[in-house]
Amino acid sequence: MANKIKRYSLKNVKPGMEIGQLVLTNDGQVVLGEGTILTPSLIERLDYWGISYLLIKQNSNEGSPWQESPESLTQKSFFADYSQTVDVIKQAFTNIRFLDDVPVNQMRELVDSFIEPLAGSVGVINHLQMVHRQDDYTFHHSMNVAVTSGLLGRWLGYTGSNLKELILAGLLHDVGKMQVPVEILNKPGKLSVDEMEIMKQHTTRGYQLVKKNKYVPLGVLSGILQHHERMDGTGYPLKTAGDKIHPFAKIIAVADIYDAMTSDKVYHRKMTPFTVVELLVQEMFGKLDPTVCTMFLNNVRDYFLGNIVQLCDGREAEVIYLGQFIGSRPVVRTIDGELLDLEQQKEYTIVKTIKA
């Protein structure tokens, strides 16, 4: 039997209720998808956006934000499309290792049909954080950098073919790793100096592989070649600096670092997004393009409100305020009702995101 939907004034909705229909702003922007479970912070945010009423599923429970809520319909759809796309990337990249040929047209189709829509989906940063990743870090990482680059590109005003090319560059940024020996690529410990030099060759190897296709735009090639270059000239492979680094590469650099640090790898455990934001702030003047980095940090923080996290003392807490400065640590409300300003109370740290 189909769920009944009832209209509620915003002041009458409660945490745990389930959204029954897309929530739109006055100018038509989607802010919450069907199936989203409301938390106190989401309700506060809806009030800030000027939303006066919601359509709520009538069988939804009024629960606690601490309870494990089911995946929303939006999340389930995202995870399904994500998994299907990663499978295609894995097969294509595995073939590259043996054939030395990048199926650029197939990758373009992935961008058009799946990755660009995923990059524009509601709650995408939170969904990426909660994806159940298997092994195969390189394939998940390529997918995540493509999606995150697309999202960042949208924030920066990219549209149409420019946006698609940026996403394609993000998808293929590490394709040269398919020519790095597997024992180096998957080594569980720190790489030796010689092994690191081989690993660094993935930028030029990827560039040479993709360049075989004469129809690949310069921006895509530049994104692949330059995504490890840094504004101060300390990157690789050519120590390119400043304005000589292509805009695609500057965007992919931020997406690459964010995903790498928030992912489990064979040689280190993932950091929380909150920790990575602090680190990116330190890198944004000198290493990373400050305009790109500021745009990313200012927007990505919006996704952290309402996250349920675990603190270093074992308690669970909800992120309720993010502070005025992009590098500031959040204010959280613990499960026992205590408010902690982590910017002032440095002895507390966030060790894990439980629900995003």
| DSSP code at position 37 | B
Number of domains in the chain: 3
Decide: 166 and 246 in contact? Cβ < 8 Å.
no
203 shares its domain with 329: no
Neighbour tally for 16: CB within 10 Å: 16
pTM (two decimals): 0.81
Residue 135, amino acid = D
Q: Give a yes or no: residue 138 inside a domain.
A: yes
* pLDDT at residue 62 in the model: 46
Cα torsion 171, 177, 183, 185 to 10°: value is -50
Q: Give a yes or no: residue 193 inside a domain.
A: yes
Q: What share of the chain is helix, strand, coil (3-state, %, to 5)?
A: 50, 10, 40
As a whole number of angstroms, the distance between CA 171 and CA 216 comes to 13
* pLDDT at residue 153 in the model: 97
* CA within 13 Å, CB half, 220: 27
Q: What is the DSSP string of 185-207?
A: HT-SSPPPHHHHHHHHTHHHHHH
Cα torsion 269, 223, 220, 278 to 10°: value is 50
Q: Give a yes or no: residue 294 inside a domain.
A: no
155 shares its domain with 249: yes
What b/e readout covers 200-235, taking b as 16+ CB neighbours within 10 angstroms? Answer: bbbbbbbbbbbeeeeebeebbbbbbbbbbbbbeeeb
137 shares its domain with 235: yes
As a whole number of angstroms, the distance between CA 149 and CA 259 comes to 10
Domain boundary among 224, 246, 270: 270
Per-residue pLDDT of the chain (356 residues; tens, 9 = 90+): 356 788 888 888 888 888 888 787 776 666 777 777 787 777 877 877 788 888 888 764 544 445 444 456 677 889 999 999 999 999 999 999 999 999 999 999 999 999 999 999 878 998 898 887 756 789 999 999 999 999 999 999 999 999 999 999 999 999 999 999 999 998 888 899 999 999 999 999 999 999 999 999 999 999 999 999 999 999 999 999 999 999 999 999 999 999 999 987 766 678 899 889 988 998 888 899 999 999 999 899 888 888 899 999 999 999 888 877 777 889 999 988 899 999 999 999 999 898 88
* pLDDT at residue 71 in the model: 56
| Token pair recorded at residue 319 | 């992120």
* CA within 13 Å, CB half, 290: 4
Task: Find the CATH number of the domain harbouring 125.
Answer: 1.10.3210.10
What b/e readout covers 287-311, taking b as 16+ CB neighbours within 10 angstroms? Answer: bbbeebbebbbeebbebbbbbbbeb
136 shares its domain with 263: yes
Residue 70, amino acid = P
Task: Find the CATH number of the domain harbouring 31.
Answer: 3.90.105.10
184 shares its domain with 259: yes
Q: Give a yes or no: residue 292 inside a domain.
A: no
Residue 339, amino acid = L
3-state secondary structure of 267: coil
| DSSP code at position 147 | H
Neighbour tally for 318: CB within 10 Å: 23
3-state secondary structure of 71: coil
Residue 196, amino acid = M
Q: Give a yes or no: residue 234 inside a domain.
A: yes
Q: Give a yes or no: residue 145 inside a domain.
A: yes
Q: Report the candidate in 47, 292, 325 with the shortest Cα–Cα distance to residue 166.
A: 292
351 shares its domain with 211: no
As a whole number of angstroms, the distance between CA 232 and CA 242 comes to 7
Q: Report the candidate in 38, 77, 80 with the shortest Cα–Cα distance to residue 55.
A: 38
* pLDDT at residue 64 in the model: 46
Q: Give a yes or no: residue 309 inside a domain.
A: yes
78 shares its domain with 227: yes
91 shares its domain with 175: yes
150 shares its domain with 11: no
Q: Report the candidate in 81, 225, 30 with the shortest Cα–Cα distance to residue 19.
A: 30
42 shares its domain with 142: no
Domain boundary among 17, 33, 57: 57
236 shares its domain with 109: yes
Q: Give a yes or no: residue 280 inside a domain.
A: no
| Token pair recorded at residue 81 | 């499309």
Q: Which domain covers residue 166, as residue numbers?
A: 73-270
In the numeric block, the tokens 């204010």 are attached to: 331
40 shares its domain with 149: no
Domain boundary among 221, 249, 270: 270
